[in-house]
Structure 1
């Protein structure tokens, strides 16, 4: 065959293949909801060691409001739940890398996180607080200057203390369980944490209890999922709204946290 004709033929064949490749590329794009149903399994990432949200019960079985929420979602989907146990620092990366389908991990909805993962409508809340022993006079961030305060790494607490507590000595721990141990052993007299964790700290701490010094922020929590999974997000949003309407999700939360969620929480934007 004439080399010129052969080259032209290869070009035409390649050009003809481009639409098919493009179509194949669209078909190959992930549809997480369809994949979950096909696999009959929902991979739910949950950071363990967070009091009331995710912990081991007396029989060493995972439980807590986030773990049980994951179970309810899997049940509603008609699939099995695979619990993916992680640390707080891994919450966003595990969704970005798609090593879990969703994260139910007391993760606050923030503009920064929303750039790299998608969030459902809020499903729960938490208060970020600074707590310390009674003898320490702290009323605001300025009072933390020169003082040592413990935080869990890669949390909103970490970010807020780093940005606002100028001159504080910040001690970072990999997860809430390690932070809790440091407080219980008397290594720390000031912490930035959440009310649920503070209750467990005081249960385990010998001697003087920690008290709330000031509330840093009240946060809405969202279920995180990979960017662009529209069908999965719509399904989860609908499930959360229905579960608030019938009272099942607020009742589950109250069972562990002994407090009520706002009835209109799913209508909040953040």
Structure 2
């Protein structure tokens, strides 16, 4: 009797969760009803997101968000996020979708879903030209800066842990703070997306920074809440269409100076 009651209770709970999920996962209808899509973008992470001289949002992810809103026929509202709070903003319904240099990782797949990839993000370690860094062992005794919760953080943590290196990881709350720490000499080595590493090197030439190691190469996609089938299909269709017509490649090339990988644009 107790076993039957327990199984019945579990079945009922599962049914309630499933029904709640299907009821809540109707983002596309919500967007159409309000006539606006709310997109989370990290505007402190150039060239993906940044503020121009007039304090207006710009960058590759901002243009991608504008293209999505245009294709859906709705207005765009941008909600600023950081690398660390992108997922919380999404699952707490403060944004419809995340377009914020969002690398696809197995850890994040446990709590959110992704669209098809619309770009790629190489993750690297950057340091002074006169520093010999070719492997984890070369980081021994150093401090390495990184933005908390980013793929650079994931890859750097994995590298240090698996290698047994005694390097210290210094985590900052976002890319902007990390970049400032580097520019002011608080650390001399940092892990970041390739574009961020290049930007810091360009903005602070006196540091003599160069790329030392590539940690990984991540596909970049839009993040959405789990179980949102209609919205998932819409986002996937948006990516397919705008990869084929070249619009996403045009945005990528404008900000990164190179085309998307051929395998993405010729599918």
TM-score interval w.r.t. the shorter chain? 0.7 to 0.9
Q: Tell me the SS of whatever aligns to 2:207.
A: coil
- What are structure 2's unaligned runs of at least 5 residues? 1-15
Residue by residue over 1:214-270, the C-alpha shift from the partner in whole angstroms, topping out at 9 and shown as x without a partner, is 1001110110000011000101101101101110110011111111101332799xx
CA contact (8 A) 1:95 1:102 kept: yes
- Give the Cα–Cα distance (whole angstroms) in 2 for the partners of residues 116 and 133 of structure 1: 37
- Aligned position for 2:90: 95
Q: Tell me the SS of whatever aligns to 2:154.
A: helix
Asked if 1:171 corresponds to 2:170, the answer is yes
Deviation at 1:124, TM superposition (A): 0.7
CA contact (8 A) 1:117 1:225 kept: yes
- Aligned position for 1:124: 119
- Aligned position for 2:64: 69
Aligned residues: CA RMSD: 2.0
Question: Greater Rg, structure 1 or structure 2?
Answer: 1
CA contact (8 A) 1:147 1:169 kept: yes
Deviation at 1:29, TM superposition (A): 3.6
| Matched residue count | 247
Instruction: Go from structure 1 to structure 2 and tell me whether the alpha carbon gap of 1:140 and 1:96 turns closer, same or farther (over 3 Å shift).
Output: same
Asked if 1:180 corresponds to 2:179, the answer is yes
- Aligned position for 1:262: 261
TM-score by length of 2: 0.87
Asked if 1:83 corresponds to 2:82, the answer is no
Instruction: Go from structure 1 to structure 2 and tell me whether the alpha carbon gap of 1:157 and 1:25 turns closer, same or farther (over 3 Å shift).
Output: closer
TM-score by length of 1: 0.87
Q: Tell me the SS of whatever aligns to 2:100.
A: coil
Asked if 1:153 corresponds to 2:148, the answer is yes
